[in-house]
Amino acid sequence: MVLGATGAGKSTLINGMMNFILGVKWEDSFRYKLVDERQTNSQAHSQTSAVTVYKINHQDGFKIDHSLTIVDTPGFGDTRGIKRDREITEHLRNLSCAQHGLREIDAVCFVAQAALARLTPTQKYVFDSVLSIFGKDVAENIRVLVTFADGQRPPVLEAINASGVPCPKTKDGLPVHFKFNNSALFADNKSSAAGSMSEDDEDGGFDQMFWNMGTKSMKKFFAALNLMETKSLTMTKEVLRERQQLENTVENLQIQVKVGLAKLEETKETKEKLKEHEAEISRNENFEFEVTVMKPFQEDISGSGCYITNCQQCHQTCHYPCGIPNDADKAGCWAMGPDGHCTECPRKCHWSLHYNQKYKWEYKAVKEKQTVQEMKEKYLKASEAKSPFQALMQKLKAEFDRLQNEVVKLVKKSGKCLNRLKEIALKPDPLSTPDYIDMLIEGEKHEGKPGWKQRVESLMNMKEKAECMAKVARGDPPEFIQPGFQC
């Protein structure tokens, strides 16, 4: 699997691999291209739009004695921001869990430019994002492929060490790595082939030197690949599954906390209004008073290009973004448990009640006028109508207690996911730490690349979720479910 930042040179490196495997020599008048680098005109956007799997079946004449599968991933950290990186992770998750998807891996190849003497916050985020996908058992199979290299020690190796990338080390304490300079891959070799002298001959000599360096590195890389122990992706799949479950649960937790706090305010407000107007209410059941309530509403996502899983019965978004577009396949959504029921919606509805739609469910506070008669109809049975004030208060408190219990369950579920991820994940998700997100925000402001304001806005939204996760990790419950808290 080949991973790295946008602009690191992954596509050219894969093309270099193909030319080596097919035995292309410097003096040959042709080159092969597996990856077309002209798919986009923008350097800021990764040209690879989805995870692509290339299966190269062994033939006579190959420079390697086996077939090869290359998983090419889009570049992390391009100008489309966090949302785009999450989509890449979703693609990898789907690939590893599909019926005929990846089951094992021989090498995780992290491609990095030689000249990176220190990592910017964005570059560190790219490293950590990539590594957070994998299980701990893959650490020994990580290899650094250094691009744009010369004959010197690449500065990026020290930067990788400083960033704490968990990978095998050489005797010198540097990450096990292979150096490439693919600038010569499609260079003009005519003057060299003809043996003629020209003012460009010196450049041609450098090109041939880089070509030879690349060939030597490819030989070393494939020899090392043969000696690596193939690793099952079982633990990595569990990491991806736990991360998705954690993300879904924390999003649900944020909504339930918001609804719970609003329900608390609604209960207090209603209680005060009922006490304040007790005399008028006893004379007139149609007496109106105003309270603040949380109401679900539909937020349009039709232009986002993302799929979603909404529960029709609970009026709740259970998974967004979701990788499954067809309603008939929603049993495979990450929100669904092994019994075919949703793990996220309040009623734990069957998967068949969940649909891909053009909106997601959100909540907002609205002022609403109510009469005592309406409240009775909403909360009370006929037998309780004799002492409506006391019965109403009990029903409102019962509703609040139900929300408290729901939040406690979600906090426990989130904590369980976090603890399991500590045990099995190679690295924590960088976007689960508020301080890390602050560092990324400052980095975006400092670099000021196109689209930085939109990326900062996305990061601020992610920070809210990260703060929620941090509270769960510390064992801090939301205020309204703390011991001794009274409704």
Residues with Cβ < 8 Å from 133, sequence gap 6 or more? 89, 92, 236, 239, 240, 426
| 262-314 pLDDT, tens digit each | 777 777 777 777 777 777 766 776 777 777 777 888 999 988 878 999 999 98
What is the model's pLDDT at position 145?
Answer: 93
Whether the ω angle into residue 321 lies within 30 degrees of 0, i.e. cis, is yes
Q: How far is CA 62 from the centre of its chain?
A: 37
Tokens describing residue 2: 């080949």
Residue 5 has pLDDT above 50, yes or no: yes
d(CA 170, CA 154): 14
Tokens describing residue 254: 């944020």
| 251-265 pLDDT, tens digit each | 777 777 777 777 777
What is the domain partition of the chain in residue ranges?
A: 2-231, 238-301+358-481
Residue 372 has pLDDT above 80, yes or no: no
What is the model's pLDDT at position 380?
Answer: 59
Helix (H, G, I), strand (E, B) or coil at 3: strand
Please name the amino acid found at residue 108. V
pLDDT above 70 covers a percentage of the chain that reads 86
Q: Which single residue is written with the structure tokens 């990846």?
A: 102
What is the model's pLDDT at position 82?
Answer: 66
| Average confidence score pLDDT of the chain | 81
What is the model's pLDDT at position 23?
Answer: 93
What is the model's pLDDT at position 44?
Answer: 44
Q: How far is CA 365 from the centre of its chain?
A: 30
Classify residue 273 by its DSSP letter.
H
Please name the amino acid found at residue 386. K
d(CA 454, CA 122): 15
Between residues 398 and 43, the one the model is more confident about: 398
d(CA 103, CA 92): 12
| 282-292 pLDDT, tens digit each | 677 677 777 77
CATH 3.20.20.70 fits 2-231, yes or no: no
Listed in sequence order, the DSSP H helices in 197-233 are 201-227
What is the model's pLDDT at position 171?
Answer: 92
d(CA 136, CA 238): 11
Max mean pLDDT among 17-31, 78-92, 250-264 falls in 17-31
pTM above 0.75, yes or no: no
Q: Residue 21 class from Cβ within 10 Å (0-12 exposed, 13-18 middle, 19+ buried)?
A: buried
